[in-house]
Amino acid sequence: MAEIPTVLLVESSVRQIDHVRRQTLSEKVSILRYDCASVDDFVARLQPGGLYSNICAIVRTGWLKAGPYASHRLFASEVIPHFPSSLKLICCSGHGYDAADIDALTNRGIWFCNTPNACTEAVANTGLMLVLETFRYLSFAQWCARYDWQKSRELGLKAVDPAGMVLGVVGLGDIGLAIAEKCQNALGMKIAYHGPKRKEEAEARLGGGAQYYADLTGMTSAVDCIVIAAPYTQSTHHLLSHKQFQVTKDTGLRVVNIARGKMIDEDALVLALEAGKVVGVGLDVHENEPVVHDKLRENWMVTLLPHIGVCSRTSWANFERQNWDNLESFLRTGKPVCPVNMIKGPYPMLQLK
């Protein structure tokens, strides 16, 4: 009788568990639970004869930023050469996948799957809140309510309602589009966007339309608030920096980031704040997180969150479901449901029925 497939399960301490589905799967595959003290320990177990030397898949589920394994970069370039030849699939929670070397995995014939749209609602809600914060400075108002009621009166000549203002979205994918829809419908904002190409289908979902800008600097000069919702790559590193902050409207620019911290040059952002080029900031992600830039942390006119845009039980449940969907599809057909990369066939079916 053929040996059943072995799957390595890497779990965050923050997750939702589908007990019924896991029980069903455990009857058809052998599930090993990751408990490595370090990435070096992980690499050692991947070696021939090691505990993980015969795994066919890795499933990493739950909130990647929480728990004892949050700092374990298991799919980084330096780790991939140690993967056993039996490993053919990685399923990992989250929308972004910049922590994985996709090209190296593809060259090894390993599928990589994220969980697209699983956290769109949670992150888009966070984006909506941060946009409103940059116009109304409610973080500062909360500080005033606790410590200095009269100081809140300084907001009288600073706070502005976003209705009629132009929101520029960098990256009109699932999350960027959801933020645009919420800001258009709830706040009455006009929408502009920037990306590699125009997205007419996405524009059609926006009842008030949207204006496409091929040039980011050109869009920056025309909008009142900019939201970064694009993937982080080498080409998007410091996407917003001195050049963009020099062309803002006379009324100033508001900046929101729910994508990756390194897409904003935070030193340039601070200088733009001090010069009045930027007049509002809402950040869920930070350039050197978990370290927060001193001048941003000390400024209560800036809204700061600790990378919790994804943080919702709804997200964790969606992560769980989509990860197991990808695993089961792979085991039955040789192909997962929503891979980031493409592996050439043939795709042999394994033991799951």
| Catalytic residue check, 289 | yes
Over range 120-131, report the average pLDDT.
Answer: 97
Q: Both tokens of residue 249?
A: 């409207």
| Catalytic residue check, 260 | yes
With helix as H, strand as E and coil as C, how does 211-242 read? EEECCHHHHHCCCCEEEECCCCCHHHCCCECH
Strand boundaries in 224-317, DSSP class E: 225-228, 253-257, 278-283, 302-304
Q: Both tokens of residue 106?
A: 């593809």
Specify the pLDDT at position 96. 81
Amino acid in the structure at residue 4 = I
Q: Which of 121, 154, 203, 289 is catalytic?
A: 289
* Residue-wise pLDDT tens digits, 143-181: 999 999 999 999 999 999 999 999 999 999 999 999 999
Specify the pLDDT at position 150. 96
| Catalytic residue check, 266 | no
How far is the C-alpha of 152 from the C-alpha of 145, rounded, in Å? 8
Specify the pLDDT at position 1. 39
> How buried is 28 (Cβ within 10 angstroms: 0-12 exposed, 13-18 middle, 19+ buried)?
middle
* Residue-wise pLDDT tens digits, 245-289: 999 999 999 999 999 999 999 999 999 999 999 999 999 999 999
How far is the C-alpha of 78 from the C-alpha of 333, rounded, in Å? 30
Q: Which of 73, 82, 205, 307 is catalytic?
A: 307
Q: Which of 194, 260, 286, 293 is catalytic?
A: 260
Give residue 323's pLDDT band: very low, low, confident or very high (50, 70, 90).
Answer: very high
Distances in whole angstroms, Cα of residue 22 to Cα of each of 26, 28, 69, 228, 232: 6, 10, 21, 36, 33
Question: What 3-state DSSP class applies to 11?
Answer: strand
Map out the domains of the chain with their CATH numbers.
6-118+313-333 (3.40.50.720), 120-304 (3.40.50.720)
Over range 38-63, report the average pLDDT.
Answer: 97
Give residue 350's pLDDT band: very low, low, confident or very high (50, 70, 90).
Answer: low
Mean pLDDT estimate for the chain: 94
> How buried is 321 (Cβ within 10 angstroms: 0-12 exposed, 13-18 middle, 19+ buried)?
middle
Residue 107 predicted with pLDDT over 70: yes
